Structure 1
Amino acid sequence: MLSDDARRAAHEARVDQWIVPHLERRRRGEKHPVLDFLFTYYSFRPAQLRQWRPGGAPHRRPETVAWVRDLLVATAARPPHLGCFGLHEWAMVYRQTQDELRHNAWPLRLGPTGTDAVVEASRIRCSHFDAFRFYTAPARSLNLLQPTRETQLANEQPGCLHANMDLYKWSYKLSPLTPGELIADCFELAADIRTLDMQASPYDLAALGYPPVPIETPEGRAEYTRRQRDLSDRATPLRAALITHCDTALPHTVDQ
Structure 2
Amino acid sequence: MRAEIWQERARAHADRADALTAGHRARKAAGERHAIEDFLFEYYNTRPSLLRRWHPGPGVVLEPGSAPAPHAGWRWYRTDADGAVTLDLATFLADRGDTVRFVHRLLTATASRSLFTGCFGLHEWAMVYRQQEHRHPLPLRLGQAGTDAVVEAHPIRCSHFDAFRFFTPAAVGRNRLQPTRATQVDLEQPGCLHASMDVHKWAGKLGPAVPGELALDCFELARDVRLLDMQAAPYDLSSYGQPAVAIETPEGKAEYVRRQRDLAARAGELRARLIAVCEELLPVRHRVAAVSDPRRTVGA
Q: What is the TM-score normalised by the length of structure 1?
A: 0.96
Q: Who is 2:241 aligned against?
A: 209
Query: Counterparts in 2 of 1:19-58, with a 5 A limit?
Result: 19-56=21-58, 57=87, 58=89
Query: Corresponding residue for 1:102?
Result: 135
Instruction: Give the gaps of 5 or more residues in structure 1.
Output: none
Q: Which residue of 1 aligns with 2:261?
A: 229
One-letter amino acid of the structure 1 residue matched with residue 5 of structure 2: S
**1:1-256 to 2 correspondences below 5 Å:** 3-56=5-58, 57=87, 58=89, 59=92, 60-97=95-132, 100-104=133-137, 106-255=138-287
For residues 50 and 56 of structure 2, what CA distance do their matches in structure 1 show?
14
- For 1:193 and 1:83, the matched residues in 2 are separated by 17
Letter in 2 for 1:154: D
Compute the displacement of 1:254 (Å): 3.1
1:177 offset after TM fit, Å?
Answer: 1.1
CA separation in 1, counterparts of 2:260 and 2:222?
12
- Structure 2 Cα separation of the partners of residues 10 and 184 of structure 1: 11
Helix, strand or coil at the partner of 2:124: helix
- Once the two structures are superposed, residues 198-244 of structure 1 have per-residue CA deviations (whole angstroms, 9 ceiling, x without a partner) of 00000010231210000000000000000000000011110001011
Q: State the number of aligned residues.
A: 253
Describe the SS at the equivalent of 2:151. Answer: helix
Q: How far apart in 2 are the matches of 1:237 and 1:124?
A: 27
Q: Distance between the aligned counterparts of 1:68 and 1:54, measured in 2?
A: 20
User: How far off its partner does 1:44 sit?
Assistant: 2.7
The AA in structure 2 aligned to 1:125 is R
Q: Give, in whole Å, the separation in 1 of the partners of 2:17 and 2:96.
A: 27
CA contact (8 A) 1:81 1:158 kept: yes
Kindly state the Cα deviation for residue 172 of structure 1 after the two structures are TM-superposed. Answer: 1.3
Shifted more, 137-146 versus 57-66: the winner is: 57-66
SS in 1 for 2:208: coil
The percent identity for this pair of structures is 59
Q: Deviations along 1:15-71, whole A, 9 cap, x unmatched?
A: 212312111111211110110000000023111111111111323311110110000
Q: Compare relative contact order (CA 8 Å, sep 6+) and give the higher one, 1 or 2.
A: 1
Q: Give the aligned residue type for 1:101.
A: H
Q: Provide the secondary structure at the position in 2 that maps to 1:201.
A: coil
Q: AA paired with 2:15?
A: A
In our comparison, the structure showing a higher alpha carbon Rg is: 2
Q: TM-score, normalised by structure 2?
A: 0.82
Cα distance in 2 between the residues matched to 1:152 and 1:145? 12
CA contact (8 A) 1:83 1:221 kept: no
The answer to whether the 8 A contact 1:55-1:175 is kept is: no
